[in-house]
Amino acid sequence: MAVTDRSVTSRTVAQHIESITHHSVSARTFRRRLQQSGLSTRRLLLRLPLTKNHKRLHRQWCDERRMWVAEWNEVVFTDESRICLQHHDGRIRVWRHRGEWMLNSCVMHGHTGPAPGIMIELLPWLARSPDLSPIEIMCYMVAERLTQITLPAATPDKLWQRVEAAWSAVTQEHIQSLFESMPRGVAAVISNNGGYSSY
């Protein structure tokens, strides 16, 4: 059941097994059995569907920047991210084996809109290319740190303090490594013919 429906909860499967066998099975036991077989629960990967045109544009964009190394240090990456006060914001977990994170059954397809910019020279950026953006990785890391805190923030100010603390906990060395990884990410998209990199 966890292989055919990757987002099924261990509690649901345990109840299903109990309804068929009339033997009680705990969700914890079921999770252990899945982990022993190599499946573990991971957050569902959100990826926007790529059309042939998206892939062509991704490939072209990456080809134009395939030789960039120092140039990435001149780029300022920006983004916005929603952080909720008291709920999980729809994060869905799926059962998968290591390395299966790009399988269609382990990916939630979403949508997005354009974000305007003013008074700065803009680097033309690709639609649907979060795998090429260091700021996306930063936002993910901050969100992950926030999910480790079990008690919800009581006020928006307390939440903001937590966000600032999580953001500040990321070292400059790690941020620099994200910039240094850009040539490898570009190369990965090129080798995947414009599709998402698994980098």
DSSP three-state, residue 53: helix
Contacts of 8 (CB under 8 A, 6+ apart): 1, 2, 95
pLDDT of 113 higher than 60: no
pLDDT computed for residue 55 by the predictor: 92
Examine the pLDDT at 80 and tell me if it is beyond 80: no
Q: What is the mean pLDDT of residues 55-82?
A: 88
Whether this prediction's pTM lies above 0.95 is answered by no
pLDDT of residue 57: 93
Q: What are 83-111's pLDDT values in tens digits?
A: 665 555 555 566 666 666 555 565 555 54
What is the C-alpha to C-alpha distance for residues 96 and 34, in angstroms, rounded to an integer?
9
What does the pLDDT read at residue 34? 78
pLDDT at 190 over 90: yes
Average pLDDT score over residue span 65-89: 77
